[in-house]
Amino acid sequence: MISMERPEGTEALLLVRNLVKSYGNHRAVDNVSYALRPGELVALLGENGAGKTTMLQTIVGLLSPDEGTIQIAGRTVLPTHTFHKRLIGYLAERPFLYPALSGFEFLQFVGALYGLRRRESTVWGQDLLKQMHLVDIAQQRIQSYSQGMRQRLALCATLLHRPRLLLLDEPLNGLDPTHVRDLKALLLHLCSEGCSVLVSTHLLDVAERLCSRILILSHGHLVADGSLDQLRLLAKQPDHSTLEAVFFALTQEQTSQVQAPGGGQ
C-alpha cells in the first residue's frame, strides 16, 4: 500500500470556522465549524439537501464561501490560493473521467496535473490499480468500464498524489461487497499513516462500523459532532441504539425547529 508521511504534531489538518455558503436566499451551509486532525476517519451524514456536497466543494475551492474561514495545514485558504490543492484528494459524487482514455492513461494525465514525474505516476498508479483490482483492464478504454470500475479508477486518481486530506463524497457508489471491504481497509490504512479522511455517505451502517467520529448536517446546520456514544447522549437514546436511530432523532428535531413558525427558512 502507498505510504503516507505522518504530519508532525496533533494540530488540526482541516479547520472550518463559521462557514456559510448560500444560493440566493437559501443557506446551504449555515455557520458550520469543526476540525479534522491527522489520523481521523470521520463520517459526514445528512439528508438530501443537508449541505454535505456544498460544504465539501467549498473546502476544495470549487465554491467560494460567503462567510467564515477554512484552514488547511495551518494556513488560511483564500480564493486565489493553490497550495492546498496538492494536500487534498477529492472524490466527487459523480466523478468525471475521460472515456476515450485507458485507465492507465487517465492516471498519467492526472499525475501530470499534479506535477508528478512520469515515473511517480507510473509506480504509484500501478500500486493503486493493483489495490483496486484494475490491473487487468488498465489498458482498456474507460468507456468500456462498468460503474463500479469507473468508481474504483476515480478513487485511484484521488489518491495518486498521496494527499494528506481526503474528502470523499459517496465513495461506495457502484462498489460490490468485496470492493467495499477493500476500500474500507485502504482508508483505515491511510489513517494509520496520518491521513485525515472525511467520508460523506448515506450508508449509516457503514459509517457506524468504520468511523470513530460522526458529523451530522441537517438543513445546513451542524447538529452533531462526536463519537456514537456521545451522539447517543445528545439524542437521549439508549446505550444500544444504532446510528440510524440516533441520526433520525437528531435530524427530526432539527427539521421540527426549521419548520416551526419563525424557526427558519
Within a domain: residue 106? yes
Within a domain: residue 184? yes
Predicted confidence band of residue 257 (pLDDT cuts 50, 70, 90)? low
pTM of the predicted structure, to 2 decimals: 0.89
pLDDT, tens only, 228-238: 999 999 999 99
Whether 253 and 191 map to the same domain: the answer is yes
Amino acid sitting at position 209: R
pLDDT, tens only, 38-78: 999 999 999 999 999 999 999 999 999 999 999 999 999 88
Predicted confidence band of residue 81 (pLDDT cuts 50, 70, 90)? confident
Whether 179 and 251 map to the same domain: the answer is yes
Whether 252 and 187 map to the same domain: the answer is yes
Q: Please say if the pLDDT value at position 91 is more than 60.
A: yes
Within a domain: residue 1? no
pLDDT at residue 85, as a whole number:
86
Predicted confidence band of residue 79 (pLDDT cuts 50, 70, 90)? confident
Cβ–Cβ < 8 Å for 15, 77:
no
Taking each helix axis from N to C terminus, what angle separates 118-131 and 103-113, rounded to the nearest 10 degrees?
Answer: 130
Within a domain: residue 260? yes
Provide the mean pLDDT of the chain.
Answer: 91
Q: Please say if the pLDDT value at position 32 is more than 70.
A: yes
Whether 102 and 221 map to the same domain: the answer is no
Whether 76 and 114 map to the same domain: the answer is no
Within a domain: residue 216? yes
Whether 174 and 58 map to the same domain: the answer is yes
Whether 64 and 169 map to the same domain: the answer is yes
| 3-state secondary structure string across the chain | CCCCCCCCCCCCCEEEEEEEEEECCEEEEEEEEEEECCCCEEEEEECCCCCHHHHHHHHHCCCCCCEEEEEECCEECCCCCCHHHHCEEEECCCCCCCCCCEHHHHHHHHHHHCCCCHHHHHHHHHHHHHHCCCHHHCCCEHHHCCHHHHHHHHHHHHHCCCCCEEEEECCCCCCCHHHHHHHHHHHHHHHHCCCEEEEECCCHHHHHHHCCEEEEEECCEEEEEECHHHHHHHHCCCCCCCHHHHHHHHHHHHHHHHHCCCCCC
Q: How many domains does the chain have?
A: 2
pLDDT at residue 6, as a whole number:
36
Whether 214 and 148 map to the same domain: the answer is no
pLDDT, tens only, 161-209: 999 999 999 999 999 999 999 999 999 999 999 999 999 999 999 999 9
Within a domain: residue 137? yes
Average pLDDT over residues 74-97: 89
pLDDT, tens only, 121-149: 999 999 999 999 999 999 999 999 999 99
Whether 176 and 49 map to the same domain: the answer is yes
Structural domain containing residue 101: 95-162
Predicted confidence band of residue 83 (pLDDT cuts 50, 70, 90)? confident
Whether 138 and 235 map to the same domain: the answer is no
Predicted confidence band of residue 27 (pLDDT cuts 50, 70, 90)? very high
Cβ–Cβ < 8 Å for 220, 23:
no
CATH of the domain at 75: 3.40.50.300
| Residue for grid cell 489495490 | 131
Whether 20 and 146 map to the same domain: the answer is no
Better-predicted residue by pLDDT, 7 or 169: 169
Nearest to 174 by CA among 150, 195, 191, 155: 150
Predicted confidence band of residue 4 (pLDDT cuts 50, 70, 90)? very low
**Pick from 162, 178, 212: which residue ends a domain?**
162
**Pick from 107, 129, 162: which residue ends a domain?**
162
Average pLDDT over residues 3-14: 57
Whether 205 and 265 map to the same domain: the answer is yes
Cβ–Cβ < 8 Å for 250, 218:
yes
Q: Please say if the pLDDT value at position 226 is more than 90.
A: yes
Q: Please say if the pLDDT value at position 8 is more than 90.
A: no
Cβ–Cβ < 8 Å for 161, 114:
yes
**Pick from 131, 162, 193: which residue ends a domain?**
162
